[in-house]
């Protein structure tokens, strides 16, 4: 798998740029990943979602879908799309250093 360097640390990612090992993630990497996703500045609301993503991943082994995020993160789906215009579940997972959410069939 490819590697990429954030904040001086080399991390392993998949073909789409999602972290292979969430343990390699550190907070100072988030703004750098966000910039690649087209998000200039991470606000407090962004951080609320990013921390929620990491918490959910630690508890359940997969990141939540957008619908579940809207129900449980304290941020509505509408606002989630304003924060992460390219798609909240994927972008927030990438910035939070967790694997791509599995979603469902």
Partner 1 sequence: VRKRIVVLGGGTGGTLVANRLRGLFDRDAAEITVIDPDDRHVYQPGLLFVPFGRATPAALARSRSRQFRPGVTFRQAAVDRVDVGRDEVWLADGTPVAYDVLVIATGARLVPEETEGLTGPGWNEKVFTFYTRDGAAALERALSGFTGGRLAVAVLDLPIKCPVAPLEFCFLADSYFRKRGIRDKVELTYVTPLDGAFTKPVASRELGGLLADKGVSLVTEFNTGEVDGAGGRLVSFDGREVGFDLAVVIPLHSGQEYVNRSPGLGDELGFVPADQQTLQAKVKPNVFVIGDAADIPASKAGSVAHFEGEVVARNITRYLAGEPPDASFDGHANCFIESGSGKALLIDFNYDTEPLPGRFPGRAGLPLLRQSRLNHLGKLAFGWLYWHVLLPGREIPAVHSQMPAAGKHLPSAGSRSPSGKGR
Give the interface with partner 1 as residue ranges (CB under 8 A): 64-68, 71-72, 77-78, 80-81, 85-87, 102-105
State which residue, 22 or 101, has the beta carbon closest to partner 1: 101
Question: For this structure, is 87 an active site residue?
Answer: no
CB count, 10 Å around CB of 65? 15
State which residue, 7 or 77, has the beta carbon closest to partner 1: 77
Minimum CB separation from partner 1 for residue 66, in Å?
7
Closest CA to 39 of 48, 30, 49, 51: 30
Half-sphere exposure of 49 (CA within 13 A, CB side): 31
Which positions are annotated as active-site residues? 104
């Amino acid at each position: 798998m490819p590697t990429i360097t954030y904040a001086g640390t080399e991390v392993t990612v998949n073909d789409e740029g999602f972290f292979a090992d969430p343990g390699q993630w550190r907070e100072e990497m988030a703004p750098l990943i966000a910039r690649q996703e087209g998000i200039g500045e991470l606000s407090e609301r962004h951080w609320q979602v990013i921390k929620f993503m990491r918490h959910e991943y630690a508890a359940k082994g997969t990141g939540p879908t957008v619908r579940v995020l809207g129900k449980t993160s304290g941020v509505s789906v509408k606002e989630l799309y304003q924060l992460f215009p390219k798609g909240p579940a994927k972008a927030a997972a990438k910035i939070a250093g967790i694997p791509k959410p599995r979603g469902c069939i």
